[in-house]
Amino acid sequence: MLFPLLARATVPDSNSFFEHCFAANWRAAHSPARIPIALPVLAAGPALEIWRGAAPTHQEALSGGGLVANQDFLSIYRTEAVSGRRDIESLTREIYSDILERQRTLGYPYLLRTWNIVPAINQGSDDQENYVRFAVGRGTALDACQLAESSYCAATCVGAVPESPLTVIAVASRAMPVSVENPRQISAYHYPRRYGPRAPSFARATMLPHERGATLFISGTASIVGHESKHAAVDAQLQEALVNVHEVRQQALALQPQLSYRGDSSWRIYLRDPADLPQIVPIVEGVTGSAQNVVYLHADLCRRDLKVEIEGACELLPASTPA
């Protein structure tokens, strides 16, 4: 089993597998099991996301990254600076190709979850926007390894400051997950041409069954219905995104009707404008029920009209199992 726990600092934990470290200063040294994410935490929120799982059996430093593995899962990340000689599209294709090759060579054939931090994500216009070029690079790499759309995994893609590196983080599994879509939204990989020459290559969520039930990894979710952005106000966008999260959870439960949404959960909120934080915190905590399982991060989003995005990990348990 694999699940994140938010914390303000590293604490001794025999169940720790790897960590996501949120910080504006991405130049700090990190081990293969401690992954830098170049996004500042808003307010006094948790600075770490500790992913619990079986103890690592292998760790390896990579150029601009690292990997850590146990008997069930592989965590691998790469960070690379973008320069005039290495544009977003080609760099994304190179990083994804490397990750996919290592993942399969090491015996973890199924992508479970990815995170993508793109510097200056909204820079450029139309087909030259950084996010659009990123989507082309990722899609080209996935096509090259013949990954079917039905096997796409949950993903998040957000933006950081221009001087930050392009960062790709992936978790892969030996066990096959199930991709989950949202009937309120067109699958991202079927978006029309207006969003770029290559539609985004991800699923709305990935569900991984395990001995206790299942874990649902929910992609970065925004105020999108069909394929169009909805609402101008940040609170209305958040409410729409939460409706989408609810629908994804319901779709997952429909695939596993013996389970219920009653286990632990962990959430990330990405906010374009930190000044909107006081407005959205009461809404988020009203839904999640706790301030302890939410981290708020300052990030640009893949569409210029979007102001807030939410992702999460949720445990699904049988009704007879104690939460």
Per residue of the chain (323 residues), what is the pLDDT tens digit?
Answer: 888 888 766 665 668 899 999 986 655 556 899 999 999 999 877 788 999 999 899 999 998 899 999 999 999 999 999 976 679 999 999 999 999 999 999 999 999 999 999 999 999 999 999 999 999 999 999 999 999 999 999 999 999 999 999 999 999 999 999 999 999 999 999 999 999 999 999 999 999 999 889 999 999 999 999 999 999 999 999 999 999 999 999 999 999 999 998 788 999 999 999 999 999 999 999 988 777 889 999 999 999 999 999 999 999 999 775 55
Render 204-234 in DSSP notation, one character per residue.
Answer: SEEEEEETTEEEEEEEEE-SEEBTEE--SSH
Under 8 Å between Cβ of 178 and 248: no
SS3 289: coil
304 — alpha (psi -120 to 50), left (phi > 0) or beta?
alpha
Domains of the chain, first to last:
3-318 (3.30.1330.40)
- Name the maximum alpha-carbon separation found in the chain: 57
For residue 139, the surrounding DSSP H or E stretch is helix 130-144
Dihedrals phi, psi of 161, to nearest 5 degrees:
-65, 155
Q: Rounded to two decimals, what is the model's pTM?
A: 0.95
Output b/e per residue, 103-114; b: 16+ Cβ within 10 A.
Answer: beebebebbbbb
As a whole number of angstroms, the distance between CA 285 and CA 154 comes to: 23
Is residue 80 annotated as part of the catalytic site, yes or no? Answer: no
The confidence score (pLDDT) of residue 26 equals 57
The DSSP call for residue 306 is -
Under 8 Å between Cβ of 231 and 237: yes
As a whole number of angstroms, the distance between CA 215 and CA 237 comes to: 26
The confidence score (pLDDT) of residue 190 equals 98
As a whole number of angstroms, the distance between CA 140 and CA 95 comes to: 11
The confidence score (pLDDT) of residue 322 equals 57
Cβ neighbours, 10 Å, residue 175: 13
The confidence score (pLDDT) of residue 30 equals 66
The confidence score (pLDDT) of residue 112 equals 97
CA angle in degrees (0–180, nearest 5) for 310-311-316? 130
Of 89, 309, 311, 315, the active-site residue reads 309
Scan for tokens 């990340």, then name that residue: 77
